[in-house]
């Protein structure tokens, strides 16, 4: 009861809940794992996150940071109960520096929201997970999210310049720099990327951004043999032109698409969807 009262003092009664109907949505993500937390909080500043983690550390209460909960890995499931730290209200784009090619955002900024803002200036953040309409950038970093453009542009790991993280003791740590090239010291940011919140709560991210490609073209090809599709991928990737998208769909996948959508796909053992841009 004391811990609950302290949490309310930190974030305010409007940013705390221990009500069953509000905790159920925090008991699952896009995986098959389910377990309900004991409470959830919506911090609005890094200072609040720090105080929450310090309190949890003092009373040995498990904490689980959470973005949009679209992960397929169960990383946001509170398997030992405890406190969900929902970072969705820390959703400000803090800075966009076109001349230095970076954007600095709070962890709760939605991926597509950032790209809409960057597009106004002719830039983009390339990683595009399937859930980018709702996925948060803190979650992208925590899971090292990629997307179908990984063939050319890689994953989130390739675009993180720096992080602001609350450590398990509640201490606030800054990693990285605001420059494209930084070779000094340990690359501590990489330690937190893909760690799914197990090493600390990511509260702010500095991301490298790219100019938007002026042109893009898409093509599909079908194959009578899956092996032929594999050979075509190899030949394409070694041709000197790197596609921005290259996805292979096997016979089972094509059948599922035909049965569950109105897309009229041809009969084939395999299909390749490819896109080039520049």
User: DSSP letters along 180-200, please?
Assistant: S---SS--THHHHTTSTTSS-
- Across the chain, what does the average pLDDT equal? 95
Q: Do the beta carbons of residue 139 and residue 70 sit within 8 Å?
A: yes
Q: Kindly tell me if the per-residue pLDDT of 164 is higher than 80.
A: yes
CATH number at 93-211? 3.30.465.10
Domain boundaries, the chain: 2-86, 93-211, 216-277
Q: Extract the tokens encoding 233.
A: 């991928």
**Confidence category of residue 264, pLDDT binned at 50, 70, 90:** confident
* The pLDDT of residue 72: 87
**Verdict on whether the full-model pTM lies above 0.85:** yes
Instruction: Report, as an integer, the average pLDDT of 192-202.
Output: 96
Separation between Cα atoms, residue 41 and residue 7, nearest integer Å: 8
* The pLDDT of residue 1: 62
**Confidence category of residue 123, pLDDT binned at 50, 70, 90:** very high
Fold of 2-86: 3.30.43
Instruction: Report, as an integer, the average pLDDT of 204-225.
Output: 96
């Amino acid at each position: 009861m004391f811990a609950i009262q302290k949490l309310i003092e930190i974030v305010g009664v409007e940013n705390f809940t221990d009500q069953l109907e509000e905790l159920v949505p925090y008991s699952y993500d896009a995986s098959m794992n389910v377990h309900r937390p004991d409470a959830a909080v919506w911090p609005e500043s890094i200072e609040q996150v720090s105080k929450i983690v310090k309190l949890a550390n003092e009373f040995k209460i498990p904490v689980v940071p959470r973005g949009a909960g679209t992960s397929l890995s169960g990383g946001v499931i509170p398997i030992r109960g405890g406190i969900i730290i929902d970072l969705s209200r820390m959703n400000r784009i803090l800075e966009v520096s076109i001349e230095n090619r970076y954007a600095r955002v709070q962890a709760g900024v939605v991926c597509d929201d950032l790209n809409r803002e960057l597009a106004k200036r002719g830039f983009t953040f390339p990683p595009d997970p399937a859930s980018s309409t709702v996925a948060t950038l803190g979650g992208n970093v925590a899971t090292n999210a990629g997307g179908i453009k990984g063939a050319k542009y890689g994953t989130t790991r390739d675009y993180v310049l720096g992080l602001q993280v609350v450590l398990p003791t509640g201490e606030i740590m800054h990693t990285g720099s605001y420059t494209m090239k930084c070779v000094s010291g340990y690359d501590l940011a990489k330690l937190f990327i893909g760690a799914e919140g197990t090493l600390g709560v990511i509260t702010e991210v500095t991301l490298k951004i790219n100019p938007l490609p002026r042109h893009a073209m898409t093509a599909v090809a079908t194959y009578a043999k899956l092996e032929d599709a594999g050979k075509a991928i190899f030949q394409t990737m070694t041709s000197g032109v790197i596609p921005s998208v290259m996805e292979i769909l096997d016979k089972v996948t094509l059948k599922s698409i035909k049965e569950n959508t109105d897309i009229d796909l041809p009969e084939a053992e395999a299909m390749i969807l490819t896109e080039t841009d520049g």
